[in-house]
Structure 1
Amino acid sequence: MSAKQYDVVVIGSGPGGEGAAMKLVKAGKQVAIVEAFDKVGGGCTHWGTIPSKALRHNIQMLRDFRRNPLFQHTHDQIQVEYSDLLQAAGKVINEQVRSRLRHYARNRVEVIHGRARFSGPNQVEVVQAGGGTEEIEAQQFVIATGSRPYHPADVDFSHPRILDSDAVLRLDRTPDSITIYGAGVIGCEYASIFCNLDVKVNLVNTRDRLLSFLDDEITDALSYHMRNQGTVIRHDEEYEQVEAQDDGVVLHCKSGKKFKTDVLLWANGRSGNTEAMGLEDIGVSINHRGQVEVDKTYATSQPHIYAVGDVVGPPALASASYDQGRFVGAQIATGDPDWQLIDEFPTGIYTLPEISSVGRTERELTAQKIPYEVGHATFRTIARAQITGHDVGMLKLLFHRETLEILGIHCFGEGASEIVHIGQAIMAQPGDANSLLYFAENTFNYPTMAEAYRVAALNGLNRIF
């Protein structure tokens, strides 16, 4: 049987693959997506962004219920287990899968289920779950296979008490205690989830502070509130051994400390999903983390093969991956797209409270010797936050002292990942349109969280006039 022909084959149906496929098919290309899993959506939908954020949302609702004085008499009647939260998240995942399938069908993108392996520069063999194979050919390819949790060789991940960020979504009980090794985004988010289920949490950080790529004031606030919720944070620790026992797991650190808990969640590092794809055989360069090496156009060492999303490394955000996919789709379709990826994209971290930022930090501005000033709005002074009970947090605007250009926006608190986009829109304006005066002189609905921009802008102006 001859191989089926396409203009472009996209391998992986996560955000990067979806973005590329949609851009290409709209440009008139014949496109197929190869997906290893039996459902579309990739790791973002099934093991990463969607399930963890659904868990976080339900935990937030539980916290709000417990803190509301109207329901104090019913607190003892509500018992929520971790498995209940997973079941609720599953409904969201299923709806995401259904909507994406409709999307592909409506746009005539063929979805082929199976594991892809390059048998030649322009040929892919798809091995299906039942053992059958299908040969497909294309002029160009987009690799969007994502990433998976890094597994050091000396840690036994087959033990039921040792989990990674995929396996934790299969946990069928609420543990009594948990040690989370790795205090990056994933580690901090799961620490927030478990400590608000009244689980004893040790968060073991290999660095000297949480999320050091963020603004220091924001991460200091996060550390304070996570500790206040019951998480024990240990900085500057490195594991020496993970000892699984019948009644728990002991994390041995090189400092001599030992942490014994019911389960261990390993959340330290990720590897690109490039194994057994035959990439090295056709000359595609892979680094030591299993990530595909690409140039600024996301082309690999083979110019007709591109790679996008987590499989190429940072920033490893679903939003950025989707845009990378669209950019590559435009690159393939036109050869010279009339738009570029933005340099400053927002970061959202769904801890409790959540964090979002865009632009530069105080540390970066100081190192660059840029004269800046700060405008603050604390949520406890914002009427909408008082009404909703979400009065923990702040909005922080960094702006140029002389031009009033907005240089960075940092938000900590409920709704931060939504609030940041208001400032992002102004930051993206050219010339004098990017100004702190927009927020100081504009009118905002009252009461809203958006009003925090006016409060922060006036606070900043008061510092320089």
Structure 2
Amino acid sequence: MNQYDLIVVGSGPAGRRGAIQAAKLGKKVLVIEQGKRVGGVSVHTGTIPSKTLRETALNLTGWRERGFYGRSYRVKQEISAEDLRRRLIITLNHEVEVLEHQFARNRVQHIRGRASFVGPTTLEISKDDDESMLVSGTSILLAVGTKPFRPDYMPFDGRTVVDSDELLDIRELPRSLVVIGAGVIGIEYATIFSALDIQVTVIDPKTTMLDFIDREIVEDFTYQLRDRAMKLNLGQKAEKVERLDNGKVLLTLDNGRKITTEMVLFAAGRMGATDALNLPAAGLEADARGRLKVNPETFQTTVPNIYAAGDVVGFPSLASTSMEQGRVAARVAVGAIAKEPQKYFPYGIYAVPEISTCGLSEEEVKERGIPYECGIARFRETSRGHIMGLDSGLLKMIFSLRTRRLLGVHIIGEGATELVHIGQAVLNLKGTVEYFVENTFNYPTLAEAYKIAGLDAWNRMGEIKAE
């Protein structure tokens, strides 16, 4: 039996970062990946594909230029599913090649196969050729990610009723799409297909969406979606979904309303991909959604030598945070010192328009009873915004009236996921409103919105001395 210092199951963001970190510390590392190629869900069906699809849709439709040339402007008049897939394949191949090179350079071994526990330190790897082998690890890191939740009542067929994985393989773009689920994945795909001028309807039993995002940002986002004729049926549940003989799909809502569409995307939740791991053999148990409970500081499970990181441990389920979780877990697993991560991390939603946030929302500040003031800048107020033809987008910052420190930054619009890092740095360095007022920002840039929002807050706050 081959013995390793660390065995990593899964090669997504958490797995690959953990494996490479342990290898850089001189440890013998094995990565087990059940997919045909390394990269995990993030590379093949999740983060990279959805963001590539988004960028391709915005480029081919000329979305970013419509502020100048009108809503009918398009770079390519007839856009097909193949147009979208072509760029996707190029991007995925590049990501896989980079990852394979990283593994080779750091001497990380990787095997293709399905892993299952035989005991707390031993895994059986089953390969496609029906062969199997046993491997043993002093420590084991589970970074298996998640898979789409597929309820039995949904008539999935991979063509007209699909999950978020199957959506990437459709052969034709529909004229109409119903998205069931107003979470991050559902909203991202709904807005991407809306940008392709496809009629989109979103259905969710909750009366609100994206509840962890500042309400003012969500309200602005909702207005933009409705303004471009997207239908948001919130507070309504799809009780019945039927495939019709004419190739379309009929949905019956709990209020009796019926909707006919060419395609349904079911994106109401994901499950931890732990069902094939034989967790009981290792003394582990997953929750109802297949997720594993861990110590949030070390990512150690209830079994001392087994760790878990990434989407399989639940919120925030971001590629960026998963990477850090994997790195920290690997360091702890091999006995190295692991510094506590910074308190504030950015959350990015790659919808159209994109949203990014870091720190406390206005609602959270109110709940904590912190006296505060807000500063807002709209992208159309910046010269760069005019140059880009932006008529929407805003940056909001929240400051403590007592300490004048930045408490949260919330952005919607072009470049939001890039711009947020300025606010993140100020948050983690405990900066105040004066940073934005007294510092110089490149002109013309969208980043100048920080100075505008800072001045807006400063004018409202007055010359109050920080304690």
Q: TM-score range by the shorter chain?
A: over 0.9
Q: 2:226 is paired with a residue of what secondary structure? A: helix
Q: Could you tell me how far apart the structure 1 residues matched to 2:68 and 2:417 are?
A: 27
Residue type of the alignment partner of 1:450: A
Kept after mapping to 2: 8 A contact 1:356/1:411: yes
For residues 114-148 of structure 1, the C-alpha deviation after alignment (integer angstroms, 9 at most, x for no partner) is 11011122111111122221221111100000001
- List alignment gaps of at least 5 residues for structure 2: 463-467
1:157 to 2:127 alignment: no
* Cross-structure match for 2:24: 26
- List alignment gaps of at least 5 residues for structure 1: none
Aligned in 2, Cα 1:65/1:272: closer, same or farther, shift over 3 Å? closer
Matched ranges for 1:135-154 at <5 A: 135-154=134-153
For residues 76-118 of structure 1, the C-alpha deviation after alignment (integer angstroms, 9 at most, x for no partner) is 8632123311221221111000000000000000011011011
Q: Could you tell me how far apart the structure 2 residues matched to 1:74 and 1:224 are?
A: 22
Between 1:355-364 and 1:115-124, the stretch displaced more is 115-124
- Report the identity percentage: 39
For residues 207-231 of structure 1, the C-alpha deviation after alignment (integer angstroms, 9 at most, x for no partner) is 1122111000100111111112221
Q: Could you tell me how far apart the structure 1 residues matched to 2:119 and 2:74 are?
A: 62
Matched ranges for 1:181-196 at <5 A: 181-196=180-195
Q: Could you tell me how far apart the structure 1 residues matched to 2:158 and 2:193 are?
A: 20
Between 1:434-443 and 1:289-298, the stretch displaced more is 289-298
Residue type of the alignment partner of 2:42: C
Q: Could you tell me how far apart the structure 2 residues matched to 1:391 and 1:245 are?
A: 41
* Cross-structure match for 1:227: 226
- CA displacement at 1:255 relative to structure 2: 2.1
Aligned in 2, Cα 1:14/1:216: closer, same or farther, shift over 3 Å? same
Equivalenced residues, count: 459
Between 1:213-222 and 1:125-134, the stretch displaced more is 125-134
Q: 2:168 is paired with a residue of what secondary structure? A: helix
* Cross-structure match for 2:175: 176
Q: 1:288 is paired with a residue of what secondary structure? A: coil
Q: 1:265 is paired with a residue of what secondary structure? A: strand
* Cross-structure match for 1:316: 317
Matched ranges for 1:408-423 at <5 A: 408-423=408-423
For residues 231-273 of structure 1, the C-alpha deviation after alignment (integer angstroms, 9 at most, x for no partner) is 1001111222221223211222222222220010001011000
Kept after mapping to 2: 8 A contact 1:286/1:292: yes
Q: Could you tell me how far apart the structure 2 residues matched to 1:405 and 1:30 are?
A: 45
- CA displacement at 1:295 relative to structure 2: 2.0
Aligned in 2, Cα 1:129/1:47: closer, same or farther, shift over 3 Å? same
Q: 1:334 is paired with a residue of what secondary structure? A: coil
Q: Could you tell me how far apart the structure 2 residues matched to 1:278 and 1:388 are?
A: 53
Kept after mapping to 2: 8 A contact 1:122/1:137: yes
Q: 2:92 is paired with a residue of what secondary structure? A: helix
- CA displacement at 1:342 relative to structure 2: 3.0
* Cross-structure match for 1:55: 53
Q: Could you tell me how far apart the structure 1 residues matched to 2:281 and 2:253 are?
A: 40
* Cross-structure match for 1:271: 271
Q: 1:450 is paired with a residue of what secondary structure? A: helix
1:450 to 2:451 alignment: no
Matched ranges for 1:418-433 at <5 A: 418-430=418-430
- CA displacement at 1:68 relative to structure 2: 6.6
Aligned in 2, Cα 1:308/1:73: closer, same or farther, shift over 3 Å? closer
- CA displacement at 1:66 relative to structure 2: 5.7
TM-score, normalising length from structure 1? 0.95
- CA displacement at 1:383 relative to structure 2: 0.7
Q: Could you tell me how far apart the structure 2 residues matched to 1:325 and 1:72 are?
A: 44
* Cross-structure match for 1:258: 258
For residues 395-418 of structure 1, the C-alpha deviation after alignment (integer angstroms, 9 at most, x for no partner) is 000000122100000000000000
Residue type of the alignment partner of 2:325: Q
Kept after mapping to 1: 8 A contact 2:371/2:401: yes
Residue type of the alignment partner of 2:30: A
Kept after mapping to 2: 8 A contact 1:272/1:289: yes
Kept after mapping to 2: 8 A contact 1:298/1:308: yes
1:43 to 2:41 alignment: yes
Q: Could you tell me how far apart the structure 2 residues matched to 1:66 and 1:464 are?
A: 38
Q: CA RMSD in A?
A: 1.7
Q: 1:441 aligns with which of 438, 442, 452?
A: 438
* Cross-structure match for 2:217: 218
- CA displacement at 1:149 relative to structure 2: 0.6
* Cross-structure match for 2:357: 357
Q: 1:453 is paired with a residue of what secondary structure? A: helix
* Cross-structure match for 2:385: 385
Residue type of the alignment partner of 1:454: K
Q: Could you tell me how far apart the structure 1 residues matched to 2:316 and 2:210 are?
A: 13
Q: 2:334 is paired with a residue of what secondary structure? A: helix
Q: Could you tell me how far apart the structure 2 residues matched to 1:56 and 1:417 are?
A: 14
- CA displacement at 1:17 relative to structure 2: 0.3
- CA displacement at 1:391 relative to structure 2: 3.7
Kept after mapping to 2: 8 A contact 1:83/1:171: no
Aligned in 2, Cα 1:457/1:253: closer, same or farther, shift over 3 Å? same
Aligned in 2, Cα 1:65/1:420: closer, same or farther, shift over 3 Å? closer
Residue type of the alignment partner of 1:310: D
* Cross-structure match for 1:123: 122
Kept after mapping to 2: 8 A contact 1:33/1:111: yes
Aligned in 2, Cα 1:69/1:391: closer, same or farther, shift over 3 Å? closer
Residue type of the alignment partner of 2:19: A
1:16 to 2:17 alignment: no
Show structure 1 runs of 4+ deviating over 6 A: 70-74
For residues 150-182 of structure 1, the C-alpha deviation after alignment (integer angstroms, 9 at most, x for no partner) is 011211223631100000001110101111000
Aligned in 2, Cα 1:362/1:34: closer, same or farther, shift over 3 Å? same
* Cross-structure match for 2:304: 303
Kept after mapping to 1: 8 A contact 2:310/2:325: yes
Kept after mapping to 2: 8 A contact 1:392/1:413: yes
Kept after mapping to 2: 8 A contact 1:83/1:174: no
TM-score, normalising length from structure 2? 0.95
- CA displacement at 1:74 relative to structure 2: 8.1
